Amino acid sequence: MCGIFGYVTSKEEAIGPILIAAAERLTYRGYDSVGAAALNGSKIDLRKDVGKVEEVAAKYNFAELRGQRGIVQLRWATFGEPSQVNAQPHLDSDGDLVGAHNGNVVNNVELREQFIAEGLTVRSQNDGETCVHAVERYLNRGYEFIDAIRLAYGDLQGDYAFVIGRAGDDKLYAFKKGSGMVVGLGEGFTCVSSDLPSILPLTRTVIRPQDGEIVTLWADHVEVRSVKDGKKIDRMPETVTESMDAVQKGGYPHFMLKEIHEQSQVARELIHLLDASPEIETVIEKMKNARHLYLIGCGTSYHAAAVGSVYLAQLAGRAAIPVLAPQFIAQYAPTVGYQDVGIFVSQSGETKDVLNALEAAEARGMTCFGLANVVGSTLTKATSFCLPLCCGYEISVPATKTFTNQVITFLYLAYRMANRLTSDLERIPELMEQTLAQTAPQVEALAKEINEWNDLYCLGYGATYPIALEGALKLKEITYAHCEGMLSTEFKHGPLSAVSKGFPILFVAGPNDVPLIISGLNEVKVRGARTIVIAEDDPRLRANADDLIVIPKSDPQIAAPLGVLPLQLLSYHMSVMRGFDPDFPRNLSKTLTVD
């Protein structure tokens, strides 16, 4: 989730400070590089590099940039490692166009090959440059700018928002498909951004373009046109009243809640990217032919690996061993070799325990792949290939969207190994949205009723067992209550003695596991427990559970990641009710770089 900002004014002025300030207001989105371009008459002044805004702006003196138009971009790497050449904005072949994007163009590799074959100058691996060349090639064929954008839009697959300008012109153009974009209208200027925070200090009068729309920005007005037919669209401006803090959090009181609700969008982007990744086939073949297959992670990432292990067994008939990274070193590393494959999972790509396990595996010759959210991290560089999670920056310490995208990645790999159509997975984002919408009120009410308890259990079976582990971890992380995640059938082997009147026990049930869950429900219910089930609607569960939190009907594999959403919401509400900040729980860090 990069950040972009474009600015158009009526006269040449010092726009460097404006671009720097806009970039600083987008840093909360997370980034690894920053760049700025000023368009002044027939000249384009482009400056960019890896690093923080204040560092890069000082090193390249962004403050001295002058012109009538400007673009600044903060990049979160997906295509191409963090580097100066991959940093945005990008120029076209002749240096007459400059543009930057937010999002992922999933057919980036294929388009780059086309551009090179057509004789265009391609300097980077970044899909932001692909957006520039997609417009350039139609301008080179004689099309007017709007028509060139319309044709480029048809070529660019994925989810993105893009802004572009041309030397010697007096305007900027912007268009979007799937990613956020907002246009600002001020006195003597207009601007466009991926997000409101970069705009609000300048103006609170905005227009919100929709997917498939092109915005042309002059200094004194803007024009919206349809990509489909090029016709003008009337769009009335609106006035934004929210505070800057509320806007950064998307109107949510905490980043955790915002990120819970972002899960459907990042899942959609991930599925598109996986479908377009040419490297996936290599990973699949290596996994199919492995003697032994290991899924290695810590904490939340380990829970995702455990879900993945169930998927691979159930769908592809392939055994995969999920293992905590430190235990891998002691239990499996001495036995592995070149015939084995490991997938090392880490949100940050810097988790020390995972990197230690990777080092031990590589020393034995094992083929090692990665799964991480931060491109350019140690894990992405040290493995043969690293699948990106495409979650953007996750500010809240408790992992939410990174967990669900890890699970979806494993589900995608299992589908591919089983030769099943991955198009079936495209319904997951909509199902996630439905789950959040229909369970949120019930979960918040439930949180009030069980918040007094400082001991809970969360139980699951099969693919929902790791979901129960993850739900229990979330409750521990941010409510500071002790919640133990457990295989539901194990509860009778000792923990049953902890049950007392009203004791809350959470069950996450897959659609095929209802009879087994009913048995577990009754063995605790007759001892006074309050039984709370997260599952698809089922009359048997309604008859046996005290509370049924209903998720949409799907299938046993998709039900698992849907089941974690109410648990995330429950932990969030209980944390807030206890007066804690769910974004920054005590004693915890987002990236664990120590043994």
Measured between alpha carbons, how far is residue 25 from residues 22, 54, 594 in Å?
Answer: 5, 12, 31
- Measured between alpha carbons, how far is 258 from 591 in angstroms, rounded to an integer? 20
- Measured between alpha carbons, how far is 397 from 589 in angstroms, rounded to an integer? 7
**Residue reference for tokens 């004693």:** 587
Structural domains of the chain, with CATH: 3-248 (3.60.20.10), 253-420 (3.40.50.10490), 427-585 (3.40.50.10490)
Cα Rg, the chain, nearest whole Å: 25
Q: What's this model's pTM, rounded to 2 decimal places? A: 0.83
Measured between alpha carbons, how far is residue 548 from residues 62, 257, 514, 532, 572 in Å?
Answer: 57, 22, 12, 6, 19
Residue 244's pLDDT is what? 74
* DSSP letter string, 135-149: HHHHHHTT--HHHHH
Per DSSP bridges, beta strands 482-487 and 455-460 are parallel
Whether the pLDDT of residue 363 is over 60: the answer is: yes
Residue 590's pLDDT is what? 57
Catalytic residue among 52, 286, 525, 590: 590
- Measured between alpha carbons, how far is 101 from 171 in angstroms, rounded to an integer? 17
Cβ contacts of 519 within 8 Å, gap of 6 or more: none
Q: Average pLDDT for residues 448-460, to the nearest whole number?
A: 96
Eight-class DSSP state of 323: E
- Measured between alpha carbons, how far is 211 from 215 in angstroms, rounded to an integer? 11
* DSSP letter string, 489-532: GGTTTTGGGG--TT-EEEEE--TT-HHHHHHHHHHHHTTTPEEE
Question: Residues 516, 465: contact at Cβ < 8 Å?
Answer: no
Residue 139's pLDDT is what? 97
Predicted confidence band of residue 589 (pLDDT cuts 50, 70, 90): low
Residue 70's pLDDT is what? 97
Answer yes or no: 249 catalytic.
no
pLDDT per position as a tens digit, 8-64: 999 899 999 999 999 998 887 778 899 999 999 899 999 999 999 999 999 999 999
pLDDT per position as a tens digit, 377-428: 889 889 989 998 988 888 898 999 999 999 999 999 999 999 999 999 999 9
499 is written with which tokens? 């049950």
- Measured between alpha carbons, how far is 311 from 321 in angstroms, rounded to an integer? 12
Measured between alpha carbons, how far is residue 242 from residues 115, 200, 259 in Å?
Answer: 43, 9, 19
Question: Residues 200, 189: contact at Cβ < 8 Å?
Answer: no
6 is written with which tokens? 């474009």
**Residue reference for tokens 């989105």:** 29
Residue 58's pLDDT is what? 96
Predicted confidence band of residue 506 (pLDDT cuts 50, 70, 90): very high
- Measured between alpha carbons, how far is 371 from 346 in angstroms, rounded to an integer? 6
pLDDT per position as a tens digit, 214-271: 999 999 999 999 999 999 999 899 998 877 777 788 889 999 999 999 999 999 999 9
How many CB atoms within 10 Å of residue 441?
A: 9
Catalytic residue among 2, 298, 386, 483: 2
**Residue reference for tokens 């039984």:** 531
- What mean pLDDT value characterizes the chain? 93
Residue 180's pLDDT is what? 85
- Measured between alpha carbons, how far is 392 from 156 in angstroms, rounded to an integer? 20
Question: Residues 56, 49: contact at Cβ < 8 Å?
Answer: yes
Q: Which of 105, 134, 413 is nearest to 284 (CA)?
A: 413
Asked if the peptide bond before residue 201 counts as cis, ω within 30 degrees of 0, the response is: no
Whether the pLDDT of residue 592 is over 60: the answer is: no
Per DSSP bridges, beta strands 172-177 and 504-508 are unpaired
Question: Residues 467, 563: contact at Cβ < 8 Å?
Answer: yes
Answer yes or no: 590 catalytic.
yes
- Measured between alpha carbons, how far is 279 from 274 in angstroms, rounded to an integer? 9
